[in-house]
Amino acid sequence: MMMVDLLPLELPEDLSFLESILKEFYEKTGSAVAQRILAGWPNSAKSFVKVFPQEYQRVLRQTAEEQKAHLTNGPMSVVSKPAPVIKDIEDIIPENLDKVRGFMKYPRKTNPYRDPGERQKDWNEIYDFKGVRKTIKTQAARCMECGVPFCQSSHGCPLGNIIPKWNDLEDWREALNQLLQTNNFPEFTGRVCPAPCEVLVLRITPVNIKHIECAIIDNAFEKGWMIPQIPVVRTGKKIAVIGSGPSGLAAAAQLNKAGHTVHVYERNDRVGGLLEYGIPTMKLSKEVVKRRVDLLAEEGITFHTNVNVGKDISAKTLLQENDAVLLTVGATWPRDLPIPGRDLNGIHFAMNFLETWQKHQLGNKIDYDHVNAKGKDVLVIGGGDTGCDCIATSLRQGAKSIVTFEILPEPPEGRAMDNPWPQWPKIFRVDYGHDETKLKFGKDPRNFGILSEKFMMMVKVMLLVSALSK
Ligand SMILES: Cc1cc2nc3c(=O)[nH]c(=O)nc-3n(C[C@H](O)[C@H](O)[C@H](O)COP(=O)(O)OP(=O)(O)OC[C@H]3O[C@@H](n4cnc5c(N)ncnc54)[C@H](O)[C@@H]3O)c2cc1C
Ligand code: SF4
């Protein structure tokens, strides 16, 4: 638990900061309370206390002492510590970043992606890893250990990641240890998590969390730190996990760590669930999935692919052979659109389209021509993330045109009055596929507020229904 001191508000910079936010609050809300406090300023400041984390105070004192010693003795450390011959990328980032109210001093790096014109020509991950790493220390300095860590509350990170701890980044290995305590697969969340933690951190420009998380784990894999952690003691208990998506993999990892013998059963030909066959390679490289699955196998988990539980092996047999059976089978049942004309040719479920293509990409001998967007006019029904993945995949396959229908109205640019912080902001977002399509066809593919009523005769049109489950 983080210990904090409640201090009187005395420092001039604290007083002027508080006064400025009170003024802003009053201007924007007309609050009578803010008006009363401001009328009695600075006397009314005595009713406030400064919530100051002790650990943060310690770091500030230490930094001040180091700076003082540097000024008095000259750059002793340079003499005693020879400069490294090869600099790590993090070493070339300016030192002595001032973290006090860092989120106000350093702007958020808003675009973690590669250039949309370039990235739409390939199937590689869309992220600009090099760019993210270059700015990582400055971005971490935006996290100010505020003492009110919404980001790790039940509304923030669903995994309970202790974000401020790793943002110190004094030591990459320590940051890794911290991260792995709460997150089994940061390389997945660091790429595809919608990052609810970030919108909870700050009202307008959040601290960059997800990409820092990703950099910590990718760096660990690069440095060879991610070696198999094989349990020293086995409990003798045997557990079957049915389904190898992220929930099955995380459960298997935890149970194996606890010393149980774990067997994972997967009906598909590869492990990973929607991580492997669903989320496109541009968002999550299949190499990254394989790297983790291989590590889990080395740690002692046994994977059985092409085993459809209920058909190839009965649930009863699994129950008899194991001490416990875990169902982590996901929601792979598509939501249909049973309107007139549904039986026309050229209408496909999004997952069929994505999975078929991803199997083809991985070298499976699979007939994918009937669900290939090349040269076709594509209409995607459903404007969510899966819809966006369909757009981006169609674009790379060489679609002639791409349009999306979304049933909901177009969201506002900023938060509506009934959607205040810290709720998830229901605002207009431009995801990677939208950006790329706009660049290629000159127009955002989305059309809002459209309720599909009927499918008409289609020629050379491919239609993707992108809602996933009932
Ligand atoms: C296109 C797409 C993009 C997405 N993008 C994101 C994203 O960017 N960020 C994000 O957070 N989420 C994303 N999601 C959602 C995310 O992928 C899912 O929430 C997540 O995969 C669910 O995990 P799961 O383990 O419960 O199920 P799944 O990943 O569906 O895994 C279940 C597994 O169980 C197997 N199974 C089912 N029945 C049996 C059986 N009888 N025997 C053996 N095996 C069986 C299935 O074959 C499957 O492999 C996306 C989903 C889709 C479809
Ligand atoms: S990005 Fe990371 S820290 Fe944020 S919610 Fe997702 S898993 Fe948690």
DSSP 29-95: H--HHHHHHHHTTTGGGGG-EEEEEHHHHHHHHHHHHHHHHHHHH-SHHHHHSPPPSS--GGGGS-S
Question: Which of 274, 306, 317 is the best mutation target for the ligand 1 pocket, counting ligand atoms within 8 Å of the beta carbon and taking the most?
Answer: 274
What distance in angstroms lies between residue 350's CA and the mean position of ligand 1's atoms? 13
Residue 88's CB: how many other CB atoms inside 10 A?
Answer: 12
Q: What's the token pair of residue 89?
A: 């990328």
- How far is ligand 2, taken at its centre, from the CA of residue 186, in Å? 8
Closest ligand to residue 186's CA: 2
The minimum-distance atom of ligand 2 relative to the CA of 189 is 7
For residues 111-120, average pLDDT: 92
Q: What percent of the chain has pLDDT over 70?
A: 85
Q: Which residue has the higher pLDDT, 222 or 154?
A: 222
Give the C-alpha separation, 279 to 274, whole Å.
6
Distance (Å, whole) CA 45 – CA 16: 10
Q: How confident is the model at residue 86 (pLDDT cuts 50, 70, 90)?
A: very low
Residue 213 CB–ligand 1 contact under 6 Å: no
CA distance 330 to 246: 9
pLDDT: is 256 or 464 the higher one? 256
**Mean pLDDT value across residues 322-341:** 92
Pocket-forming residues, ligand 2, beta carbon under 6 Å: 157, 159, 161, 163, 189, 193, 195-197, 209-210, 213
Closest-CA residue, ligand 1 atom 25, reads 245
325 lines ligand 1 (CB under 6 A): no
- d(CA 171, CA 99) in angstroms, rounded, equals 16
Lowest mean pLDDT among 190-194, 283-287, 295-299, 329-333: 329-333
- Look-up of token digits 């309720």: 451
Beta-ladder partners of 239: 262, 324
Strands 49-53 and 4-8: antiparallel
Q: From atom 6 of ligand 2, which residue's Cα is the shortest distance away?
A: 195
So what's the pLDDT on residue 69? 65
Q: Is the CB of 126 under 6 A from ligand 1?
A: no
Between the CA of 274 and the centroid of ligand 1 the distance, in Å, is 4
> Do residues 157 and 244 touch, judged by C-beta distance below 8 A?
no
pLDDT at 200: 67
Q: How far is the CA of 245 from the centre of ligand 2 (A)?
A: 18
- The rounded Å distance from CA 161 to ligand 2 centre is 7
Nearest residue CA, atom 41 of ligand 1? 309
Cα dihedral angle (214, 216, 218, 219), rounded to 10 degrees? 150
CA of 170 to the centre of ligand 1 (A): 36
Say how far apart CA 161 and CA 164 lie, in whole Å.
9
Q: What is the pLDDT of residue 134?
A: 81
**Span from the CA of 278 to the centroid of ligand 1 (angstroms):** 7
Name the residue of 132, 161, 163, 200 whose CB sits within 8 Å of the most ligand 2 atoms, as the mutation to test its pocket.
Answer: 161
According to DSSP, residue 138 is labeled H
Q: Mean pLDDT across the stretch 22-30?
A: 90
**Distance from residue 316's CA to the centre of ligand 1 (Å):** 24
Lowest-pLDDT range of 178-182, 207-211, 290-294, 369-373: 207-211
- Quick check: CB of 431 below 6 Å from ligand 1? no
Predicted confidence at residue 442, as pLDDT, reads: 96
